[in-house]
Each structure stands twice: as C-alpha cells, then as structure tokens.
Structure 1
C-alpha cells in the first residue's frame, strides 16, 4: 500500500543543528516521580533563533513505541526539526523510560510519569504557562498526551495522530474480553485506557486518522471524538497508520488548527 508523503526535505538529508552560531537543539535530563532519568531534546524553530527568544507557544511531542529520539529527530518524514520549523513553535521531545539513554523500565505508570516530568520541566524550567503548551502525540504517544490532558485542565490544545482507545482494544481484532471498542467498561487487564481518560480532558483537541489504518482502525478516533468535551472536527484521510503522520494535508490541517486555537502567527507578529 502506498502512503502519501509530506513535502518536506529528504529524511536522509543532513540537518543543520546550529544556525548563526546558535544551537538549534539542546539536551536536558529530567527526573520523574519514579526516579527514572529521562532524556529530552529542546528544538528551537527558525523564528525562535531569528528573534533571539523562545517561541510564544511550545509543543511537547510524545512518540510512537517503535522509535527513539535519534530516529524522530532525523529519520522520520517529517522529522521533528521540520515539524518545529513548519509550525513555527519550539518543541520538546523525550525518550520513554527504558528507551534510548533514558533509565528505568517500560510500564504504564512509568510512561505517565515521563510526560508529567517533561511537562513540569517545560513549565518550570522553560517558563511556559500551561495554556501556552501544545500536546502532540502519535500512535502510542497519544496515550501520554491524553493522560497529561486529563490531569492538566489549562492546556493550550491537544493534537492526537492515530490515537487508540486502549491497548487491548487496539491489539485485538476480536473486541477485547468480548467487549466492543466503544464498550463503556474497560477490561481490568487493559492498559493505556485513553477511552476512560478522554472524557476528563478540557483542552481543544484535534484527532487525525487514516481511513486505511489497519493497525489502529479509524473507529478508535471516532469513539474518542464522542468522549471528548472540546474536540474540533476530526481530520480523516485515505492513508495508512504511518501515512497519516507523513501526509502533507495532515500537517496543513494541524498548522491551521494551531493558528486558530493558539494564534501562533499573531503571537509572533506581536513580538515584532
């Protein structure tokens, strides 16, 4: 199956991680409530470097479970540097516990603690207000974004790319434990139940999903959309699981959503 690709530079092209002598990427280690040490990268967008200041809004990106920071920084299409420049927002990404150079072991509680620690770092150390933060997750990363949005009520907005309702609901083609994807009861053995947490979210939320996604079928986004308190019209496209992330129209829609909800262009104009 061919999945349409976004029109950024080649994913194998060398990246300029320094501009005009100023570092574009910085690394920080944050400690979680479980005492894991998480590697984070802070990417500055072109405008941030040009203006010599932090961007008015910032993205916290939570990645899928099949990647690490090295991959999403340089090898995905688009990669995080291209996303950051295209959306005109600085961006923080992180490796989950047990991924890359981050310490600890992978577990549901550990991964939730990861994003809580990263959010604290962004608000306390980078000095952003919660309403200036954009949570963005892709695939597995949507569970972390939804968790954070369910406990932090004053976020700017949330972007969920190929989200799933829960791990068992996504993993089983046969509805888990005899229940439907949209069952109101989550199996006691299930994990990452975004289905239960979605109804607690207050932030404006955009869901993006591929119609041809066979890994996490579109039904998951449809169910979550009905559970969200403040969702905009979802973006669906005739593409697959990885294709929705790489599709040009996905990022055009995300950019419009961010500008409408966060006034990113207006915020930069006011700085001038």
Structure 2
C-alpha cells in the first residue's frame, strides 16, 4: 500500500507540466545605460516592466514580471495555469494592465520558465509568499490595495495566500479547481494525499471573490467554479461564459467587461468599509429574548410584554400562584432568586414569591404588608391585595 506522502508526490508529477524548453531567458543588461538590470529575452523590451529574481523560503529563485500603469489604483498578483510560463503570458499581461488600469505582477512557479527548483504544491505556496513580500518591500503595496488572481492550478497558491490576508481587496478565480484529486475523480471527500484543497481554504477568505468559469470546460468541469462560488464567504456576481473552454475565456467580450466592473467596484471599497464588514461578519447574531408567563401549571411565552421582565418558572409554595402585571395585564410568575427584607419590619419575607413591581419598584411582603405600594399586585401566599399606596 502506498503511503500518503508517496501518493502526494505521484499526484504532483501528474499535476505540473512546465513548458520545455522555456519560452524566455533572463540575463543582466550590460549594455550602455542598462545599469546591470535584469531583462528577459524573448519578450519585448519595455521601460515600464521590471524583471525580478525573487528568493523563496524553499531556496528557489523565481522570475517575476512587474508591469506598471501610471493610472493604476490597485495591483493584481497573477498566478497562471499549468503548461504555461511568463513568456507565453506576456501579451495577456499587457492587455490586462491597460484594460483594467492596474499594476500587474506575474511570476513563474519553481521549475517553470527561468525559475529554479522543482514544481510542487509546497513550492508554489512559498513562491507566492515571496512575490507578495517583494510587492510589499520593493513597491510599497499593501494587501488593502491588492487583488489576487488565480487561473486553473494557480487558484491553489492564490487561495493559500488569500486565506492569510484578511484585509485583501479582492480575489479572482479563473477556471479554478476544488482540489487536485477532484479534477480527475468525482469524489466528495478530501483525502490527506490530495493537493490544493481549495474546497477548504475558500471558506477562510474574507474578501470579495469573483469566480469566472466556462460552461464547456473539458479540463476542469464548471461544477468546480460553481461550488467555489457557493462556498465563498463574500461571493461576487459570477461570470459563467456559455460555450467557454479552459484556456480561451479571455477571447470572450464578457470576460474583460465583467472583470473591469469587478475592479472598479473594488477600487470604490475603502479600507474602513472592508473592516466594518469583517467585524460585522464576526459578530454573533443577536438572540431573541422571550418573556415567560404562567397560568397555573401551564407555561407559555409572550413577546409583547411591555414591562420587558424575564421571569422564571413559579417556585412559590402556594400552588395557585396567580400574579397579575399592571403594565401589560399578562400573567407572570414569582421570582425565586432570594428573600427580600421588609423596609418596615426589617424581617425576611416568608413568601418565596417576592417580586419587584416594574411600575413603582417596590416589593410585596406577606409579613406586614406595609411595603406594598402598588395596588395591582397580589401576594401569592395570602392572596390579599394591599389597597393603600
């Protein structure tokens, strides 16, 4: 029998398909005026594009492209799908930067493109964490101004990071997966050897989530996107592209239109509004207070009692306890919390059914009856009513 770790490593071999050879290479620009900055061969040269090598906690060096837009208010951190690298995605990045009016950071996973290391689930988590730290330290971009974008297998590292950033501006899941095993098997359980358990991590994301999926996706079934949208804590209006496949959704006009709408709405959400929503989601729902009334041996509940007193089940020695409230004319039971002392005779009341009138705030006493001021209350022991005020 194979152990969980062995099965997990086998699953990783089938999950990652880096393009071979890579469609680009990274080198230092030693030409006059280059200053030794990194450039990528195989992609157009652009002064608004930074080529970076980012060190990860797993020891890899991942390549990242940062595309600047002077009109941008938000930044998109893009995690691409399988069998692709930055060289193939460069033109798409430029289009997204221009049409969405955002800064865009794209990166290659360990073992993809010119990035070092080997592709694995844990390495992709380390990769996106390192790139996010680079955005913070090198470009001063905080999570409040960041939108995470995950396509296909890129939804794994995207939701991993999103579940750890409570003040994130938003998340986009493009042809996302519920988990690695659910792509190839129709299972309803999460096994220990499964990879990219998005079905669990989506519940921890506190920011708005936009799900985009094609109805004719033959690689990752549409049901994956639909289930992720249902599980999101703050789901945004999804985009189901009729007839869309797995790798061609960008060609549909609704794609950029709906994505632009999402970006604009996220720009208008202030940090104060986001924090307020988070606090409201963490507060427990208020409990309804019911007021109990008793008639003999039958106990009922009433919610329209004007005196707003919550009473207990009668524990008076008199079996025929029948106290009438002058405020709402409803029947109320006796308090049995403790014995009160009469303000006149200073003796403990022998009636265990002493109560406080919500109108005159005085106690009834069966000892001397001199402390009863409200004529609408009766003592459950003697059954007499004090007439004088």
TM-score of the superposed pair, with normalisation by structure 1: 0.80
Q: What number of residue pairs does the alignment pair up? A: 227
* 2:113 match: 100
Is 1:215 matched up with 2:219? Answer: yes
Q: What is the RMSD of the two structures over their aligned residues, measured on CA atoms?
A: 1.7
Per-residue deviation, 1:167: 0.5
- Rounded Cα–Cα distance in structure 2 between residues aligned with 1:160 and 1:147: 12
Deviation at 1:121, TM superposition (A): 0.7
Highest relative contact order (Cα 8 Å, sep 6+), 1 or 2?
A: 1
The equivalent of 2:167 in structure 1 is: 154
Shift of 1:15: 8.0
Q: What CA deviation, in whole Å up to 9, does each residue of 1:82-118 have, x standing for no partner?
A: 1111100110100100111111111100001100111
Looking at structure 2, the residues matched to 26 and 234 of structure 1 have their Cα atoms a distance apart, in angstroms, of 32
Quick check: which has more Rg, 1 or 2?
2
Query: Does 1:26 pair with 2:50?
Result: yes
- Report the counterpart of residue 209 of structure 2 in structure 1: 205
Aligned equivalent of 2:74? 57
- Which residue number in structure 2 is paired with residue 126 of structure 1? 139
Query: Which residue, out of 186, 191, 208, partners 2:190?
Result: 186
Quote the offset at 1:263 in angstroms.
3.3
Deviation at 1:220, TM superposition (A): 0.5
Whether 1:36 aligns to 2:80 is no
Distance 1:29 1:16 in 2: 18
Q: Does the 8 Å contact 2:177/2:225 carry over to 1?
A: yes
Three-state SS of the structure 1 residue aligned to 2:229 is helix
Structure number with the higher helix fraction is 1
Q: Which runs of 5+ in 1 are unaligned?
A: 1-13, 265-272
Moved over 6 A (4+): none
Q: Which residue of 1 aligns with 2:200?
A: 196
Note the alpha carbon deviations across 1:24-82, whole angstroms, 9 max, x for none.
2111111111121111111123xx1xx6xxx32111001011100111003xxxx1111
Q: Which residue in 1 is equivalent to 2:123?
A: 110
Is the CA contact (8 Å cut-off) linking 1:210 and 1:241 kept in structure 2? yes
What SS is found at the alignment partner of 1:216? coil
Deviation at 1:198, TM superposition (A): 0.6
Q: Which residue of 2 aligns with 1:87?
A: 100
Structure 2 length-normalised TM: 0.56
**Structure 1 residue corresponding to 2:248, chosen from 221, 243, 247:** 243
Contact 2:43–2:87 (8 Å) recurs in 1: no
Displacement of 1:256: 0.3
Q: 1 CA distance for matches of 2:100 and 2:43? A: 17
Alignment check: 8 A CA contact 2:73 2:267 kept: no
Q: Is the 8 A contact 1:63 1:138 kept in 2?
A: yes
Contact 2:171 2:207 in 1 (8 A): yes
